[in-house]
Structures are given as structure tokens and as C-alpha cells.
Structure 1
Amino acid sequence: MTRTIIVYTLPTAYDMLDSELLPKLIKGHDIKLEMPIMREEATDLWIVNIQSRLSFRRRTNANSQKVVIPDQLQTDLGPSPIQLLPLELLSYIFLLSVEPSLFPNTVASALTLSRVCSVWRATVATDPRLWSSTSIHIVPNQKWRDLLILLSTRSGDRPLSLELIWHPTRGDKEYNISISNTLYRQLPLLSPRWHRLQLFVPLDIVALILDYAPLPNLEFLSLGSECEEPPVLNWTQLDHAPNLRTLSFAALRSRPIWWDMPWSQLTELNSKSLLSGPQAVFLLSRCPNLERCQLRVESARFEHEEEDEDVLVVVPKLKSLSLVLGGFDDIWRLFGLFRRLVFPSLDRLEFRDAVQNDSVVGGLYKKHYWVGEFLVPLLDRSECSLEAFRVVLVGGSSHIELGFEGGTLVDRSRTRE
């Protein structure tokens, strides 16, 4: 009979390893491994290799010695269940629990896992993949410094993914200078290896990381810094970050329109920063290769901007567009931006209303607006065909979510208690 071990998450692995199931499987049954689809190469050959090593471990364990103790119970002197798993499988369990694209909340995930047992400590110490992605939250202790050093020394030459969070302590100038000096010493050395960066740090540290040296491996960049004026970066479109494809502005006042970035090579752009309609159009005009985009548009904040309504902006590769809407004081200025846009490849469109309220506030009754009179001409002009469309409107007592996906109508509207 063939048993199946399915490893998806770390807690599942713990349940399996701490029970008597694994020794029984290895001694008496074949093992078939079913893994989630790996992010990179190595699937079939990788699994065959793991199965081969498990088979060897099973044969070794079958020959382990037994001793009889006075109460007639038998104790197995063979290796512990966790030692029966090869390093590749332990590493993969770890990688599943520390998904680099999500960045866990824990500050030192690799160090946390190394405390489980000696086998995990050996795994953590010897596999550079486990150190190539981490999240560092700078707080008043020394642990984050150790983690930063280990990120550099234990990751080998692998590309690095880092989420760095630091909000300087007000009134403690000496402490802040000490942290800055540490970052200035450590971060520039890693410039050639950055693959993904999420930065929630002061602007001088942002400039240090992004502008010190070329970033040949950087593909994903998220900026969470509030700024009145972004730093001047000496980037050129072709040689400083040639592989940058995804750019995200994660702060409400990160002001993407002021940043000097290699816009034309981006395939994905996300911004939580407030933009007027003309500003959103301007950003789209700078990104001709964009495929996915999410912007927050709030026209009420910008009342005196001019736009050239006769110039069309064509984004030929854009497939997915999501707009978070607000500031409906001038509905024509907000949705009028569609009159200038052409999206020949658009197949997914979403409108999200983050600030609307269907109750009386300050004597005014705010209404929800339908965008059909602007949307239909956009689709006709672009000659595109939507496969998915969604409108999400959140009011004081209701949540309206309507749309379609493929040929199916979707209505997830509900009344909020």
C-alpha cells in the first residue's frame, strides 16, 4: 500500500514529525511525495532524488539495532524521525513557511527556526537559500544587527530579498546616528545581489540603498517612505536597474509622480499615494510596457491642474487595471481621465471606492456614481474585450460588490451590521 505525505506548511510538518506516523511509513511503506508547484525549476527530477534518498534511509533504519528493557518495551536506537528527512526536504519545508514574496511578520524567521532542534540548526546554518530572504524591523536592541550580518554572510552569493522597516526614534539623535552608520556600512556591499526590496525607512537610507551602486538583479521595489520631496537618484534607464519590473509606492504620501525611475521598463505599478486624474494619466503615459496597474485617484485634492484633452495616451500591453476612487466633488474630473486613455489589451478592470459614505455627513449626502458613460467609450476606443469587471463600493451600512468573471455574474453585496 502506498502512503502519501503532503507537505504544505511548517505546522503540518511538525504534526507529521512529532507523531509515530513517519517512522512507520518509512519502515513499512513506499512514500510518494506530492509538493506544491515550485517557484523555479526542479520539479520531477527533484522529487525523484528525494524519493531515492528516503528509500536509502528506510533501508538503513530497517537494520537498526533493538534492545529489550525490563518492562519488555522496545526502544529504537535508529535516527530520530526528523533525521530521516534529507536536507532538501527540510529546506523546502522551511521555504514554504517563509514565503519570500509575502515576508512574514516575524523579525528573525531563520533564527527562530534554528531553535527547534539540532537538525534544524544544521539545516539553517548550511543552506544559503534559507538566508536569502528576510524581514528586518529595526528596534532598540542588537538582534537586528546580527540578522543583517547573517543575511550577508550565510546567503552565499544568492540574490537577496529584504523588507527593511525603521522609524527613527524622536529625540534620540545619537541612537539614530548609530543605526544610520550601521546601515551605511552594511547595505552598500549587497547592492549587486538585491532581488526584491521593501523599504520603510528614511529617505537618506533609501538613497543609500538605491543609488550607491548598480542594481543588476533588482526586479521588485516597494517604497513606503513618506516624503515631501524624494531624493534625487542618479539612475539611468538602461544600466542602473535593468531588470526592475515591479514598482510599488506603499505610503499615502510617497508621491510617485516626483520620483526619477526607469518607468518605461516597468510591467507592474502599484500606488497607494493620492493622485489626481491628470497625474494618473501622466504616470500611465510614462509606462508603455505596463501590464498590471493599481492606482489611487482622488480628484478633490487637485483643483487647478490642466490637461491636454486632445492627446491620447496608449498603453498597449496593459491587461489589468484597478482604481481606488475618492474625492467625488468633481465627478467629471475624476472619470474624465478615461477620455484620454487607450488600452488595447485590457481584459480585467476594477473600481474600488475606499472613502465613500452613503450617510449624511456634515449636512451633505454623498452619492455613489456609476461610470458607465465613461467606461463604454473607453472600451469602444480601445477595441478591447473585458473578461472580468468588478465594482466595489463601501458605504456606511452597505458593501456593494458587483461584476462578472468570464461569463459568470458575481454579486457579493451585503449589509454591514
Structure 2
Amino acid sequence: MAHALIHVLPPETLSEIFLFCLPSDDFVKISNKHAPLVLTLVCSYWRRVAIASPQLWSSLLVHDKLRTDTFPLIDTWLARSADRPLKLALMLYDGGEHRRSIAQGLLNRLVVHATRWQEIHLQLPRKTYAILFKRLKKKYQTKRRPLQLPFLETVTIHTSNDEGRGVGEMLCSVLQAAPRLRSLFWADFGCMSCTIDVLPQSAGLMELLLDMNLTVNQALCILSHCPQLRECTFGALRLCDAAPPPESPLLLPQLSSLTLHTCQDLSVLFDYVTLPALRSLSIQYVADNMEGHAFFTAWPVAEFAGMLWRSRCPLESLQLHAIGMDEWALIQSLQPVEHSLKRLRIRNFGPASVKDHLLRLWTNAPAIADTLDSSRPTSPFPSHSTSSSTAAAFCPSLDILELHECIDASAGVLAAMVASRTHTVALRTLADATPLRHVAVSGGCMADYRALWKMKKDGALVPDLQMDLRSF
């Protein structure tokens, strides 16, 4: 009987094919239904090739349903990875003494391979982090030889229940031992204010996410130690500052994405940073812990616009959530980046940020009334649109616009703006005009929505336009 063609493939080729069978998840779970384990069950040839392919076994996810009888399989799995750098995720939730005992048994196995860690994701039961760091030092650190983690590039850690402060000091020693560290993600579910003395030794960081209670000045101090940052998120700038602000301005030449969740005044931060590569900025005022509602403060329009003017950054995406700014402040904030801005999302629960004046600034000229039959009773275009100039609208590159709970406009003004940037006839008069591809609005006028839906149904708007229009 002739063998199937796949059985005559060289082992190297078959091994490469096996790599494409691995799950698309970041980490590989232990399962007989998925690669790599399922590959060892097909035939003896496949089993030999799979076992002899270390790259198939270099990723492992251990989840909360772990049992002690799985330990031998984990030992075998890690042995098959040979000397390959490892990507490991330990997702073990706090379940009492029994769960901590299982976690400790697992840590005994993983610490043996610590010098091969490339990416480590930790969510461990309480009191287990201290055991992990203690065993790392005991095995790898001596008076003459410091701890070395030469392959470690990414660390993700979740702490809770008042243990964050203690983990900070222990994590410091681990990060000092990782010269190739590029990404650090640390979330504290208890929102503790942790000791962030680990970052001065991590000047090579490119990605940083800290989701724990910090002050604005602490955030600036952290940024000052990370000159290579490209993406940064501060998830809880909640604490009031007691320390003075930095003595000198801060330049981050490669930071392209910045996300801030805060209930504090950000004027100091905007005053001190210069971000010439910034392309994505998201700012959200979050509920404060005591009151349980969004904390509104005066939007620092002068400092914010000053930071953008000073940076001369090519900002493409701007998201502003619950910032409480009025229309004048929003216009001033958008002016420095009006030519580069492509995506704008505003959600406001305070004063209206978008009124007739800003909507008219966003409306393309010449007026659509010159290119459409304005005598139709369903025409959404107000009588002010009579200009025949060819000037492009404010923020001419916008292709995604989302406005939620922030509109207070006269009937027809919103529809005129959207139609001027999406109507096929009107766009022909502006050779360089960028049509809107996605419009999402809530809280506007129902008559405007009906007019836009009718034009879309009649085929008058660009065919790929996506609209999500709600009156509430």
C-alpha cells in the first residue's frame, strides 16, 4: 500500500507545517484536542517529529483548573522545549491554602527554566509572589554572580489584596536582571500605590502599562526613566501630588501612543512633556473611588494645546471621555492637530462640547446646497450654507467621527456637516477631501438622522459609509 504523500515529507518540512497548527492564542494550553499534543497522537512518525521540534513546546499556559497529576506532563512539556526561549502564562486565582500549594509546586518546575524565560504572564494567589522571587534568588544568585534573565523581554503581572507594595521591591531585582526587557504590564486589582523604583534600571522599555494608583508627578518621574517608550498607559492617576513637579521638561522622542485614566488635573503633565512622535492619545476621566461618579475638573485647554503645538506631533487618533470641556475649549484643543487628525471620539457627561459653531467649522465648502436640489422638503441643509468658496473644513482628514452625549445643535446642522463630508456630488468639488467612513452619534436630533438615512438609502452618500445614529 502506498504511503500518503505527507509521510514522505522531510522531518524539517513537516516540523515547519506543525508550527502553523499551533493555536493563535498568545500561549498554548495543555489539551489533547489541540497542537502540539494532538500531533503526537496521529502516528509514530508524526509523534517522533513533534517531540523532536522544540519550538512546538516553547509556549505554555497553566490555568486555574490545574491538578497535581498534571505536573509530570508539564515536566515533559518543558523538557521537550530543549534550550528554546520560553513563553509562560500562570493564571492561578486565589483559592485558599490548597490552591497556593499547587501554585508552589508549579513554581518549583518553572524556576528551573527561569534563564530561558522570554515572556512571563503571572496572576498568582496571595503570598505566592514572595515565594517565586525568593526561589529565583536562591537558585541563581550568589555573592559573586547576580541573578541573570538574559532572554526576558515581556513581563505581565497582576497583584491584589494589599500585596502590591511588597511585590514592587521584589520585581525590581527581576527587572534589573533582564537587560532585554521591552514590555512591562502591571495591574493591581486592589489599586494600591506601589513602589515604582524598578523603572530607572529599565531604560530600554518600549511598552509600559501601569494600572495602579499613582500621582501625576509619579507618572512624570516614571516617564523620565523610559526614554525609549513607544506605547504607555497609566490606568489610575488618582492620587493627589505632595511632591513638587519635575525640575526640567521631558522629551519622549519615540512615544506614539499614550492613554491616561485620571480624576486629577493634568495641566502639570501637559506642561512638562514634549511628544513629537505622538499618533494616538486617549484621555478619560474615571469615577473616583469615594463618590462613584466621574470626577470633573476644569479642562487645562492652554496646557493641552501648548503641549500639542510644542510637540508638532502627527496626532491621528484622539479620544476624550468625560472631560467636561465646552465648545470653545474643544476647538482650541483640536487646532494644533487639525491637519493630521483622522479619528476623533468624544464622550461627555458635562456641558455640550459640540454645538452649531463647531459643526459648521467641520462642514465642507462649497455648500452642498449648490450641488443638490435644495427645494426638496427633506433637505437637511440650513440656509447658512450658501458659500461658493472651496475651502476645506476644519479637521479635513477626519474619516472616523464619534460624538456621544456631547451635542447641542440646531436641527439640520449636524446632517449638513455629515452630508458635506460623505455626499458623492459634494466631494467631487474638493479634490483632496477625505470622506468620513464611520459616523457614530448619540444624543442628536432625530430629524437629522432621518435625513441622513434617507440620503444613504437613495445612494447619495459614499457607499462604504458606516453610520450609528441614536437620539438618546
Identity %: 22
Q: Give me the whole-angstrom Cα distance separating, in 1, the residues matched to 2:15 and 2:395.
A: 38
- Residue 42 of structure 2 corresponds to residue 117 of structure 1: yes
Which residue in the other structure is 2:302 paired with? 373
Query: 1:64-103, aligned counterparts within 5 Å?
Result: 77-80=1-4, 82-83=6-7, 86-98=10-22, 102-103=26-27
* 1:288-314 C-alpha deviation (Å, 9 max, x unpaired): 232221221433xx23x2242462342
Q: Give me the whole-angstrom Cα distance separating, in 2, the residues matched to 1:321 and 1:363.
A: 28
Relative distance call for 1:107 and 1:324 in structure 2 (3 A) is: farther
Other structure's SS at 1:411 match: strand
Which residue in the other structure is 1:410 paired with? 400
Which residue in the other structure is 1:288 paired with? 227
Other structure's SS at 1:241 match: coil
Other structure's SS at 1:148 match: helix
Which residue in the other structure is 1:278 paired with? 217
Which residue type is aligned with residue 273 of structure 1?
Answer: M
- Residue 172 of structure 2 corresponds to residue 222 of structure 1: no
- Uncovered stretches (5+) of structure 2, i.e. residues with no partner: 141-147, 324-343, 348-393, 403-439, 443-469
Relative distance call for 1:90 and 1:134 in structure 2 (3 A) is: farther
Relative distance call for 1:283 and 1:117 in structure 2 (3 A) is: same
Select 1:245's aligned residue among 171, 182, 192.
182
Other structure's SS at 1:217 match: coil
Relative distance call for 1:316 and 1:123 in structure 2 (3 A) is: same
Query: 1:51-62, aligned counterparts within 5 Å?
Result: none
Q: Would you say the 8 A contact 1:233–1:260 is kept in 2?
A: no
Question: Displacement of 1:368 after TM fit?
Answer: 9.4
Relative distance call for 1:326 and 1:260 in structure 2 (3 A) is: closer
Relative distance call for 1:284 and 1:91 in structure 2 (3 A) is: same
Query: 1:335-354, aligned counterparts within 5 Å?
Result: 335-343=267-275, 345-353=276-284
TM-score of the superposed pair, with normalisation by structure 1? 0.64
Q: Give me the whole-angstrom Cα distance separating, in 2, the residues matched to 1:177 and 1:363.
A: 37
Q: Give me the whole-angstrom Cα distance separating, in 2, the residues matched to 1:372 and 1:239.
A: 39
Q: Would you say the 8 A contact 1:346–1:386 is kept in 2?
A: yes
Q: Would you say the 8 A contact 1:351–1:392 is kept in 2?
A: yes
Other structure's SS at 2:96 match: coil
Which structure has more strand as a fraction of its residues?
A: 1
Question: Displacement of 1:350 after TM fit?
Answer: 1.6
Q: After the TM superposition, which of the residue ranges 211-220 and 128-137 deviates more from structure 2?
A: 211-220
Q: Give me the whole-angstrom Cα distance separating, in 2, the residues matched to 1:216 and 1:393.
A: 41
Q: Give me the whole-angstrom Cα distance separating, in 1, the residues matched to 2:308 and 2:66.
A: 54
Which residue in the other structure is 1:23 paired with? none
Q: Would you say the 8 A contact 2:165–2:194 is kept in 1?
A: no
TM-score of the superposed pair, with normalisation by structure 2? 0.57
Question: Displacement of 1:100 after TM fit?
Answer: 7.9
Which residue in the other structure is 2:316 paired with? 388
Q: Would you say the 8 A contact 1:284–1:313 is kept in 2?
A: no
- Pairwise CA RMSD: 4.0
Q: Give me the whole-angstrom Cα distance separating, in 1, the residues matched to 2:259 and 2:177.
A: 30
Which residue in the other structure is 2:130 paired with? 204
Q: After the TM superposition, which of the residue ranges 105-114 and 131-140 deviates more from structure 2?
A: 105-114
Relative distance call for 1:126 and 1:341 in structure 2 (3 A) is: same
Q: Give me the whole-angstrom Cα distance separating, in 2, the residues matched to 1:92 and 1:378.
A: 49
Which residue type is aligned with residue 80 of structure 1?
Answer: A
Q: Give me the whole-angstrom Cα distance separating, in 2, the residues matched to 1:137 and 1:364.
A: 35
Q: Would you say the 8 A contact 2:115–2:150 is kept in 1?
A: yes
Q: Would you say the 8 A contact 1:348–1:386 is kept in 2?
A: yes
Q: Would you say the 8 A contact 1:292–1:319 is kept in 2?
A: yes
